[in-house]
Structure 1
Amino acid sequence: MNNFTIAIVAALSATAYGFRCTNLTVPVSLSARNVVFNITTPQNNVEVTNLILDLTRQGGSFVEQRVQGYAAVHGNYSLAATYCTPDEHGPDGSNRKRPLDAVQILTHGLGFDRSYWDLPYNGGNYSYSAVATNKHGYATLSWDRLGVGMSSHGEPINEIQAWLEVDALRALTEGLRHGSIKGVPRFDRVLHVGHSFGSTHVYALTAMYPDISDGIALTGFSQNGSFVPYFALGANFVDVKTIPLLAPQYDHGYLATGDLSAFQANFLGPEQFDPAILAFAATIGQPLAIGEILTIGSEIASLNTFRGPVLVVTGEYDVPFCGGSCYNGASPNSSIPAQSQQYWTNTSISTVIVPGAGHALNLEYSHPSTYKSINEFFGQIDKA
């Protein structure tokens, strides 16, 4: 199943569940100050494994040693997105009273595309967009991050990096506020929801532009980066060209999770998921660019002066951001994600730890609790 088929299936299931979605192509002009790395693009799995071992070696300085300098990257790109709105009637058939005045921008993490937010699995019952729109009355805009899915791809080491993707999120946000995205109305209120790498993008965006968002929810997130090597090693990364479903769409320099056991280890809590979802994950899994791995830590290193409401939702057994235990090393009344508070200088963050859950919260049995936490948090903002 390719990305286009997945998007169509998601749209059909969305209509059946009382919300309407439109697939969009959004042209954007982007620029960022990227790092120039002196790294040879791996051409096979042996070279990929050697690179990952170099990156994750304890006490190593491989990345710093490969930095040649910095360069401005700018150009015109296309972002694939899906815009969803609630039906004009509520689930009980009554007319909706709440005006459509707020939109959630949904940014997925590594290993996925925008279908993470509207999973075409089990009849659409895992769809975050369905809950946010039809149950809570928001519009949603999910998008394929730059370099992923149906958005523009690019050179995977020195072009597709974290900060260029953050600028893509900036462009989408401004487009919603200005009403400049064709087929989408202007919104005065824009909320941001991220997952994993998408959450670090949201953090970086609001650190750079503290007034750009009206509220944010960071899922699969903390600001402890010491566990990322667990994720990199556990993924059993392989050259994307060895994955038949992805090989035609990507060049060398993009890496994919090597097998379903690796996916399970990195993304899912023990006994917290439908076993059949592993096979499904193989149909929606996406690669990541090496440049993303090399720049992921830079996004969350600075203080954030954002003044709005912040929610952090992380699975208790999250691997990349909690090392498999969000309470390990934390005080009895705290958690590793809650320790992010020290980075937020002008607001108090709220934290939810989902019991038993892993990293890919939208794929687990506990997803209704996750979705409820986010949308009820945004609902409290509305009432304030």
Structure 2
Amino acid sequence: MASLLTIKTLAICLFPVLISANATSTGYIPLGASCYDSITPVTVTSANYPWIAPKWSDNYGLIDFVSLASSRLDAGFPQPIGPPVNETASYEIAGTFCTPKKPGKNAKTVLLATHGLAFDRRQVHKTFFNPVPLKPRQQHITPSHNPQTRLSGFTNQLNIQTPILISLARSLLNGSLPLPPTPPHFGPPNALILLGHSFGSFLSNSALAADPTIASAAILTSYGLNGLDARLVLEGISPRIARVQDASKFADFDPGYVTTSDVFANINSFFKAPAYEHDVAAFSEANKQPFAISELVSLTPELLRLDARAFKGPTLVISGEYDHVVCGGYCPGELDASFKDKFADLETYVQPSAGHGINFATNTTAFFAKIGGFLEDKGF
């Protein structure tokens, strides 16, 4: 899920977690920003987990997989993925790069943002939110989908996306990321900050664990480890094959791409009463996007490499009080326990009353104010 930002003095680079091509306009441009779509080619080598379970072609097969995958751990059912295989491949990453129209002193601080599963890079529409300005000092890029080059939903996973994020960060740091000719080439930033939401937080953490030199700071939202139960998440979203659910939108996605079954499954995963409005939940459901089943499977705890203590920059971890996805429904006390041995310079914050989709909560302005305060305090 993309975070909502008002561009005033920073630059923001927002990349989605889905690997694909075809730059499509985000539709909503943050206030005070100039935004440009871009496509960046990358070639990376990654240790990928191959899908070895049967690949379904209809929702009956998907639900049978969900039934087995959400069974108790000692049931002994076979894993859907095999041992990792080293693979080298090329990808095209489409994104949106936003710069402040009136640059401030921190205009060359860049936020490299990655969103979570079930949503894309588009900003939450201003019809619903008018957040406290963050004094954005960043820029913003996000990729979208191309049916001819999109990875299979049985292949797309965290292990592929981690070196891609590292490659994008390196290109930003050395000024080689191809940016639009207007405004002038941005050049190397003064500081690069990783900003993740949900799966994007796992991705940012994974990238920092693999290469602690790619960022000056990290902001990881809707994130937690100790309370994460993939079986609970899988049952909670009640997945359906995306192209079966809405062929008018998702016909070009293979059956490995799934989405929430309806607005109530969406609410169950991302919202918590009374801190949300029904029309916002309906907006969220109407604008949801498919995600790869292998992305979710790649979050299996024993597969994750998240020890980023070699990264010495400040890290802020934020989750909603009643986050169903990463805290099992209740986050107080979970974040410090989850990350005290993952980051050298850690700050945690629990947003009262909110669910997993913090930027959809009625008190979301406090969430953005916390991020803005963190950036200010750390000199960004």
Q: 2:335 aligns with which of 329, 334, 337?
A: 337
Aligned residue identity for 1:50: D
Is the partner of 2:152 in helix, strand or coil? Answer: coil
Write the deviation string for residues 185-217 of structure 1: whole angstroms up to 9, x where unpaired: 221310011011100001111011111110001
RMSD between aligned alpha carbons? Answer: 2.5
Is the partner of 1:47 in helix, strand or coil? Answer: helix
Q: What is the 5 A alignment of 1:184-223? A: 185=186, 186-223=188-225
Return the alpha-carbon distance in structure 1 between the equivalents of residues 257 and 330 of structure 2: 29
Equivalent residue for 2:34? 20
Q: 1:288 aligns with which of 270, 288, 291?
A: 291
Return the alpha-carbon distance in structure 1 between the equivalents of residues 250 and 74 of structure 2: 32
Q: 1:303 aligns with which of 288, 304, 307?
A: 307
Return the alpha-carbon distance in structure 2 between the equivalents of residues 348 and 53 of structure 1: 40
Q: What is the 5 A alignment of 1:25-174? A: 25-60=39-74, 65-88=79-102, 97-115=104-122, 118-122=123-127, 125=130, 131-132=133-134, 136-144=135-143, 149=145, 152-157=149-154, 159-174=155-170
User: Would you say the 8 A contact 1:6–1:120 is kept in 2?
Assistant: no
User: Would you say the 8 A contact 2:209–2:305 is kept in 1?
Assistant: no
Q: Return the offset for 1:248.
A: 1.9
Q: What is the 5 A alignment of 1:223-372? A: 223-224=225-226, 226-244=228-246, 245-298=248-301, 300-305=304-309, 306-327=311-332, 335-344=333-342, 347-372=344-369
Aligned residue identity for 1:153: R
Aligned residue identity for 1:324: G
Q: In structure 2, do the counterparts of structure 1 residues 60 and 21 end up closer, same or farther at CA, with 3 Å as the change threshold?
A: farther
More helix by share: 1
Q: In structure 2, do the counterparts of structure 1 residues 216 and 150 end up closer, same or farther at CA, with 3 Å as the change threshold?
A: farther
How many residues in Structure 1 have an aligned counterpart in Structure 2?
A: 350
Aligned residue identity for 2:250: A
Is the partner of 1:31 in helix, strand or coil? Answer: strand
Higher relative contact order (CA 8 A, sep 6+): 2
Q: Return the offset for 1:77.
A: 1.0
Q: In structure 2, do the counterparts of structure 1 residues 267 and 143 end up closer, same or farther at CA, with 3 Å as the change threshold?
A: same
Q: Unmatched 5+ residue regions in structure 1?
A: 89-95, 328-334
Aligned residue identity for 2:139: T
Q: Return the offset for 1:291.
A: 1.3
Aligned residue identity for 1:303: D
Identity, in percent, stands at: 22
Q: In structure 2, do the counterparts of structure 1 residues 302 and 86 end up closer, same or farther at CA, with 3 Å as the change threshold?
A: closer
Q: In structure 2, do the counterparts of structure 1 residues 98 and 226 end up closer, same or farther at CA, with 3 Å as the change threshold?
A: closer
Return the alpha-carbon distance in structure 2 between the equivalents of residues 215 and 372 of structure 1: 17
Equivalent residue for 1:332? none
Q: Return the offset for 1:63.
A: 7.7
Return the alpha-carbon distance in structure 1 between the equivalents of residues 33 and 221 of structure 2: 23
Aligned residue identity for 1:143: T
Return the alpha-carbon distance in structure 1 between the equivalents of residues 374 and 118 of structure 2: 27
Is the partner of 1:249 in helix, strand or coil? Answer: coil
Q: In structure 2, do the counterparts of structure 1 residues 177 and 252 end up closer, same or farther at CA, with 3 Å as the change threshold?
A: same
Return the alpha-carbon distance in structure 2 between the equivalents of residues 19 and 221 of structure 1: 28
User: Would you say the 8 A contact 1:246–1:286 is kept in 2?
Assistant: no
Q: Return the offset for 1:78.
A: 1.2
Is the partner of 2:379 in helix, strand or coil? Answer: helix
User: Would you say the 8 A contact 2:26–2:121 is kept in 1?
Assistant: no
Return the alpha-carbon distance in structure 2 between the equivalents of residues 302 and 237 of structure 1: 27
Q: Return the offset for 1:29.
A: 1.3
User: Would you say the 8 A contact 2:23–2:94 is kept in 1?
Assistant: no
Q: In structure 2, do the counterparts of structure 1 residues 365 and 4 end up closer, same or farther at CA, with 3 Å as the change threshold?
A: farther
Aligned residue identity for 1:180: S
User: Would you say the 8 A contact 1:108–1:194 is kept in 2?
Assistant: yes
Q: Unmatched 5+ residue regions in structure 2?
A: 1-20, 180-184
Equivalent residue for 1:374? 371
Write the deviation string for residues 109-146 of structure 1: whole angstroms up to 9, x where unpaired: 0111111xx212417636xxx944xxx141222324xx
Is the partner of 1:68 in helix, strand or coil? Answer: coil
Equivalent residue for 1:91? none
After alignment, is 348-357 or 33-42 more displaced? 33-42
Normalized against structure 1, the TM-score is what? Answer: 0.84
Is the partner of 1:280 in helix, strand or coil? Answer: helix
